[in-house]
Amino acid sequence: MAFLVLCIISSTAINLIFKSVTRFNANTFHVIVINYFIAALLGVAIAGSSFIHLVSDPKPWMLLSVIIGALFIAMFHLMSLSVQKAGINPTTIAGRLSVIIPMLFSIIFYHEIIDHIKVWGIVMALISVILSVYKKREHVSDKQSLFLPLIIFLGAGLIDSLVKFSQDAYLNDELLPTFSALLFFVSLVIGVFVLLVQKKSFRSIVIKKNLLFGTALGFCNFGSIFFFVKALGNSGLNSSSVFGINHIGIVVLSVFFALILFKEKVNKINWIGIVLAICAIILLTIKTNHL
């Protein structure tokens, strides 16, 4: 259970760091690039020599790694904007409930079984996302920001579906650390390229607060993946239970810290959405051993 708790804490910390970046006027994209540098270093350290061998022995799945890596940095940037404009709660819920997209992908393309509980869970999940991002009319100036959680929902689901396809078609347990390391490395390269196009100086990027937030984000980003994999193999629970507890824990913990640390306003409709989100995740994880 220790790995599962660490995974929930790491994933929740990602949203909290994005919110803090704005509060301390750090540069969001610079923080994201530094984050991927740290995460790539950690990934390469764990993958070891197998990562270096990719250069001399390219594999078909590397193209998927490039695509997913590009989506990673794009979604991370959009996530930071969503946390800042729409808030931690709707961003977290949209990201967590994106799990229904790879589930539908599995049902359609891999002919996995779906029951009535899953159908109700999917419907409830969609309703909860809409309710959790609802704002009153006086916030019309931020109306466009309401679409950000929806983009997070679709983008995160697409990434999960591509990762599932990669694992099913090409990967095994031995290649997973290398696959993860390459994802972070591709995201880093794209981020550095964007900075070069923008003609940003190295000194303007590596200021103290950018380094601080970027380093913290890198460890949390890598940890959210690393500890989840560890939890799957060492928690003593089946994978569906680990998956459900992880998602529910992130939603609940993020809501708690958003209220305590950032005093985010949550109206009654948002609360209904949050409760429905937790119920939807529970329904989506019931009797999933056969999936």
8 A C-beta contact, residue 193 and residue 79: no
Q: So what's the pLDDT on residue 241?
A: 63
Nearest to 90 by CA among 29, 135, 27, 121: 135
8 A C-beta contact, residue 113 and residue 290: yes
* Phi/psi at 111 (5° precision): 55, 40
Q: So what's the pLDDT on residue 240?
A: 57
Nearest to 285 by CA among 103, 94, 91, 112: 103
Q: Which two tokens stand for residue 78?
A: 């959009």
8 A C-beta contact, residue 38 and residue 218: yes
For residues 231 and 95, what is the distance between their CA atoms, to the nearest angstrom? 20
**Sequence letter at residue 80:** S
Q: Which two tokens stand for residue 161?
A: 């579906």
Count of alpha carbons within 13 angstroms of residue 252, beta-carbon side: 13
Q: So what's the pLDDT on residue 138?
A: 46
Q: So what's the pLDDT on residue 217?
A: 92
Q: So what's the pLDDT on residue 251?
A: 74
For residues 213 and 27, what is the distance between their CA atoms, to the nearest angstrom? 10
8 A C-beta contact, residue 160 and residue 106: no
Q: pTM (2 decimals)?
A: 0.76
Burial class for 279, CB neighbours closer than 10 Å (0-12, 13-18, 19+):
middle
Nearest to 289 by CA among 245, 231, 241, 235: 241
**Sequence letter at residue 51:** F
8 A C-beta contact, residue 274 and residue 252: no
Tell me the pLDDT of the chain (291 aa) as tens digits. Answer: 788 889 889 988 987 898 888 788 888 888 988 999 999 888 888 877 777 776 667 777 888 888 988 998 888 788 778 877 777 767 777 777 787 787 777 778 877 666 787 778 778 877 877 777 666 644 444 555 678 888 998 998 898 788 778 767 776 667 777 877 888 889 999 988 888 888 777 777 888 899 999 999 999 988 887 787 677 667 666 565 676 677 777 777 877 787 788 777 777 887 888 888 788 777 766 754 444
For residues 87 and 18, what is the distance between their CA atoms, to the nearest angstrom? 10
Q: 10 Å Cβ neighbour count for 207?
A: 12
Scanning the structure block, which residue is given the tokens 């390219």? 58
**Every domain of the chain and the residues it spans:** 2-285
For residues 175 and 153, what is the distance between their CA atoms, to the nearest angstrom? 28
Q: So what's the pLDDT on residue 288?
A: 47
- Between 61-85 and 88-97, two packed helices, what is the crossing angle to 10 degrees? 150
